[in-house]
Structure 1
Amino acid sequence: MRLTDFWQRMDAVFGAGYAPSIATDQVLTTLGGKTVREALDSGVATVTIWRAVCAAYPDRVPATLR
């Protein structure tokens, strides 16, 4: 998954104003206790990060974006 696709999905799910906050503030255990931003900065694949977001917010991410 390209980085632009990842951010488009984040914006679609959380809104353009809230997605950056989720990425910076929410620690995800499936990412080893990292935030989305930390995972991106450390080179974790965007598809892996997206799957972690889907697992953390199963009720927010529609099936079409999984």
Structure 2
Amino acid sequence: MKHSEFWQVLEETFGAGYGRSVAEDLVLSAVGGRTAARALQDGVPPRVVWDAVCDEMDLDEATRWRHRIDPRERPRGPAR
């Protein structure tokens, strides 16, 4: 997963405004008690950060792997 893919699936999953809030405000224990934005700045791989977001937000497997789907075919919002 690239940084650009992380931000794209975060926005697709939560929306632009809320996605940014999740990245800036949600503290993720799986990445050392940092926010997603801070973890990325500190060099944590985007895939590890995305997994931490998915775990913390209790997102399903379809959402966890959405970055593997062609962007034109991705659903918006959390998978159901």
Q: With structure 2 as the length reference, what TM-score do the two structures score?
A: 0.73
Counting matched residue pairs gives 64
Correspondence 1:55-66 to 2 at 5 A: 55-58=55-58, 61-66=59-64
SS of 2:30's equivalent in the other structure is helix
Shift of 1:17: 1.1
Larger Rg: 2
SS of 1:18's equivalent in the other structure is helix
* Corresponding position of 2:39: 39
* Corresponding position of 2:7: 7
Report runs of 4+ in structure 1 exceeding 2 Å deviation. Answer: 61-65
Unaligned runs of 5+ in 2: 65-80
The Cα RMSD (Å) is 1.1
Shift of 1:65: 2.8
Q: With structure 1 as the length reference, what TM-score do the two structures score?
A: 0.87
Q: 2: CA distance between counterparts of 1:22 and 1:16?
A: 10
Deviations 1:20-46 (A, max 9, x none): 111111111111100011101100000
Unaligned runs of 5+ in 1: none
Q: 1: CA distance between counterparts of 2:46 and 2:37?
A: 11
SS of 2:47's equivalent in the other structure is helix
Q: 2: CA distance between counterparts of 1:62 and 1:12?
A: 14
